[in-house]
Structure 1
């Protein structure tokens, strides 16, 4: 399958958890690759560039300051980031603007159960955030399978089923 014929996978089971004044999206995805391989995709800047909505100025596999640059076509936005926890290959937690992302990797047979906890202040953003991560993780899954299609970021995501995913997740999350 190439980029032109790419279609997103069906919507995943997702849930939210209250987090003080914010809300946390919990998105679980089972991958066919071991945690060490998934960890590299989450932390290595060259791998992140092939699937994530942002570029990282350094390896995210250790704590400390970093910069994540959101990419939308030709437009970019730099966001200071702090990697709060990095426990390879099981737990990665960092800020992204005002949000907090926590990636938990658990062995699942020969693969990995990836749990993303993305905390946002504005609950109304959850369907959009969920649709975006859904597409990114579909692309990451293809990358891990050795069949990369390149990142799908920003407005371009609308050409790859983002709107339909947003609507489906709005319904699942009770935002529709």
Structure 2
């Protein structure tokens, strides 16, 4: 069982769609922020590796990892406002990470703008698994990223179906 779904929805954004994915974490934004921008930490929970720290605006490369397969995609870091806002392109997508202090920690909101609405449940399922790993990483557990085909062994298909039902 993959547990409860995240607070997630899809909103029209011009001719594109934005997945809005929210997860509360028990750490303050200052402790969550490095996991979003540091390449070594990103490599432990995100679906990609980063060619550099995402702490300054400008070009970067985010490489999707699926077992031994690697797909490098151009990225541009557009906004960096530590420890509350990070925005970058990833291929044709736009990711906007917002960290807001809340009682007991941080509300992490990801706004992932997609060209294809048909991808929303698949992307939500992937970020769900990534957020689970991120939470464990921040709690100090020794973890590795769940990405690519490996996600199938961790309930990705069930999550995809449940998010598709939620977004219908």
TM-score in terms of structure 2 length: 0.97
Q: Match of 2:45, SS?
A: coil
For the pair 1:9 / 2:3, whether they are aligned, the reply is yes
| Alpha-carbon distance between aligned partners in 1 of 2:30 and 2:55, rounded to the nearest angstrom | 11
CA distance, structure 1, for counterparts of residue 2 and residue 79 of structure 2: 30
Asked whether 1:53 is paired with 2:47, we answer yes
Partner of 1:73: 67
Cα offset, 1:36, TM superposition: 1.1
2:101 is paired with a residue whose SS is strand
Whether 2:133 is the aligned partner of 1:139: answer: yes
Aligned to 2:112: 118
Q: Deviations 1:71-97 (Å, cap 9, x if unpaired)? A: 000000001100000000000000001
Q: Distance in 2 between matches of 1:133 and 1:109?
A: 23
C-alpha RMSD over aligned residues: 0.9
Q: Is the 8 A contact 1:8 1:138 kept in 2?
A: no
- For residues 39-60 of structure 1, give each alpha carbon's deviation from its aligned partner in whole angstroms, at most 9, with x where no partner exists: 1000000000000000001110
Cα distance in 2 between the residues matched to 1:57 and 1:122:
26
2:165 alignment partner in structure 1: 171
Instruction: Determine the C-alpha separation between the residues in 2 that align with 1:93 and 1:107.
Output: 18
**Matches of residues 93-104 of structure 1 in structure 2 within 5 Å?**
93-104=87-98
Q: How does 1:9-28 map to 2 (within 5 A)?
A: 9-28=3-22
1:153 maps onto 2:153 in alignment: no
1:16 Cα deviation from its structure 2 partner: 1.3
- Structure 1 unmatched ranges of 5 or more: 1-6
Counterpart Cα distance in 1 of 2:96 and 2:110: 6
Q: Is the 8 A contact 1:94 1:101 kept in 2?
A: yes
